Homo-oligomer: A and B are copies of this chain.
Amino acid sequence: MNKSRQKDALKNLIKAGKIKHISALEVFELLRVENPKMSIATVYRNLNLFVEKGLLLKIEGAGDEALYDDTIKPHAHLICVKCGEIEDLDLDISDSILKSLREKSFDFTNYDLSIKGHCRKCSSGAN
């Protein structure tokens, strides 16, 4: 991966912790602030590269569009089906699951756990 102004800008967003389960389009908007000529194609290209390199986590179970996260350790997401809010849930994949995977000779590399339901606000009827 060579250098470019556009990749540096994305790296900076990551360093600044600005990428918390947001869509490619939202990343695009952030990048456009500094560089109005940024292309959406470049955003998709570089997001994919960064995911391959392990610098970003891609979350695919949260709706129509993929979300990107600078927290690269796999973790679960609580997704409110009413208001759409997404909250992280730290979670080590449990020993019993790892054991099952071993029994099946499945070489685990990653997981994507989306837990759907209603968040506090929405289940309290306030929303």
Complex Cα–Cα for A112 and B81 (A): 13
With an 8 A cutoff between CB atoms, is A34 at the interface?
A: no
With an 8 A cutoff between CB atoms, is A117 at the interface?
A: yes
With an 8 A cutoff between CB atoms, is A5 at the interface?
A: no
Q: Mark A82-118, 1 if CB is under 8 A from B, else 0.
A: 0000010101011011001100111111111111111
For the complex formed, measure the closest distance between the CB of A125 and the CB atoms of chain B, giving whole angstroms: 11
Which residues in A have some Cβ–Cβ distance to B below 8 Å?
A: 60-61, 76, 78, 81, 87, 89, 91, 93-94, 96-97, 100-101, 104-120, 123-124
Chain B residues whose CB sits within 8 angstroms of the CB of A100 once the complex forms: 89, 91
Complex Cα–Cα for A123 and B96 (A): 21
Contact of A106 with B115 in the complex, beta carbons under 8 Å: yes
A116 touching B120 in the complex, CB below 8 Å, given contacts A87-B104, A94-B94 = no
Complex Cα–Cα for A60 and B114 (A): 10
Contact of A107 with B118 in the complex, beta carbons under 8 Å: yes
Chain B residues whose CB sits within 8 angstroms of the CB of A96 once the complex forms: 94
